[in-house]
Amino acid sequence: MKVMVVGGGGREHAIIKKIKKSPKVSQIFALPGNGGIASDAVCVDIGAKDLEAIVKFAKEKAVDFAIVAPDDPLVLGLVDLLKAENIPCFGPEKKAAIIEGSKAFSKDLMKKYGIPTAAYETFTDMESALTYLDTCKIPVVVKADGLALGKGVIIAETLDDAKKAVRDMMEDKVFGESGSKVVIEEFLTGPEVSVLSFTDGKTLIPMVSSMDHKRALDGDKGLNTGGMGTIAPNPYYTAEIADRCMKEIFLPTMEAMNKEGRTFAGCLYFGLMLTEDGPKVIEYNCRFGDPETQVVLPLLDSDLFDIMEHVADGTLDQAEVNFADDAACCVVMASEGYPVKYEKGFEITISDDVEDVYVAGAKLSEDGKLLTNGGRVLGVTERGEDIAEAIRKAYASVEKVHFDNAFYRHDIGQRALAALDEK
């Protein structure tokens, strides 16, 4: 089958490397892909938000199946357009992708169906938001309603900072229209866990749990980033907590979306916080997480493409979904200065014995060299018998990847190891 994957980051590279192993897949197009993905798929220079051009391409090439990975095209309704052309897709329709596209929607959904989450209020009027803040416990969390490249969440440590965040979003529109509505919510504490799941709206199968490391520098210091590394499984996520999440969060969310007439089919991502009062939802994503995918999919023993077809057909109950019980660690190598300002264009060399490299920000030069072309350049994943071994092996492999101005965190997985020690 001819498969089209929309997107061009490390997550998409991990999806592509996995579906390439399926006997059913004969050709893969990546739109737009990147210089690293070019080793595993035919990259086509069409941006992930250029919906019209994507649909046209899919028709011209008679693509048999489409996988839409990033949030933007999902929220904009690419899956609806492809399905209208009878192209089977993995990914939710627009009316279901709103679970990530609007924080006000997802918060209201959780309130209506009793799914545990932080207490909150939603505002479209700035003065009311500012007045409400005077009644809030500090720290408090201010969130832009819409997609904001992962930057629309401000944890305000003082009342002044909270008010500034509201003014920035609602008056100065620093996140554009995403900030015309804001959610103000209670600050929660506890370990964070990411759980991705496959669902067709009838069956929901959680994947192995993982832990992201969002801050740029060691010791969780520095600015928030798209993610500097991941480990799986997440040791805080015990079998008992998993059971509770399934009953209190995962299945109720799937059913709530059905009741709203917004059946979700695709990868539903639960960003959870394990608070003293039990697990609560911090956020939903309507897609695979990045860089969670880069540790979760390497642990999947089953045929990813086959699972995706079952999700698209509504027969997920018949799919075989098995995860290995060992561990994985992904260390992201970025350009010095990320997430603010960085140089690009340095040659990347990767030793032949490093297999699981997921390229995000790189392009090919005219003479075929791989050059850095973004903030997060690539992720190096290794599996191990346990987390400690996976971490050791991942850092050993990082030593075999070179480019000028490379920087990465040295403590990916250390918090997870400490949690295991406490047990």
64 contacts ligand AMP (rule: CB under 6 A): no
- Spatial neighbors of 135 by CB under 8 A, at least 6 apart, are none
Answer for the pair 166, 126: CB distance below 8 angstroms, yes or no. Answer: yes
72 contacts ligand GLY (rule: CB under 6 A): no
* Residue 122 vs residues 33, 117, 144, 180: alpha-carbon distances, Å: 37, 14, 10, 11
At 245, which helix (H) or strand (E)?
helix 239-245
Nearest residue by C-beta to ligand AMP? 283
289 contacts ligand GLY (rule: CB under 6 A): yes
Stretch that binds ligand AMP, among 76-84, 183-191, 381-389, 410-418 (CB under 6 A): 183-191
Stretch that binds ligand AMP, among 75-83, 149-157, 292-300, 401-409 (CB under 6 A): 149-157
| Cis bond before residue 339 (omega within 30° of 0) | yes
Min CB(150)–ligand GLY separation in Å? 6
- Spatial neighbors of 96 by CB under 8 A, at least 6 apart, are 257, 262, 263, 264, 265, 266, 286
Round to whole Å and give the CA distance between 122 and 142. 10
DSSP string across 373-418 = -SSEEEEEEEEESSHHHHHHHHHHHHTTEE-TTEE--S-TTHHHHH
382 contacts ligand GLY (rule: CB under 6 A): no
At 278, which helix (H) or strand (E)?
strand 278-285
Going residue by residue from 73 to 112, which x/- string records binding to ligand AMP, judged by CB under 6 A? ----------------------------------------
- By CB under 6 A, what part of segment 319-378 binds ligand GLY? none
Member of 145, 283, 292, 382 binding ligand AMP (CB under 6 A): 283
290 binds, among ligand AMP, ligand GLY, none (CB under 5 to 8 A by kind): ligand GLY
Member of 102, 106, 285, 397 binding ligand GLY (CB under 6 A): 285
141 contacts ligand AMP (rule: CB under 6 A): yes
Answer for the pair 259, 375: CB distance below 8 angstroms, yes or no. Answer: no
Residues contributing to the site for ligand AMP (CB under 6 A):
118, 141, 150, 153, 155, 185-188, 192, 214, 271, 282-283
Residues contributing to the site for ligand GLY (CB under 6 A):
150, 212, 227, 285, 289-290, 292
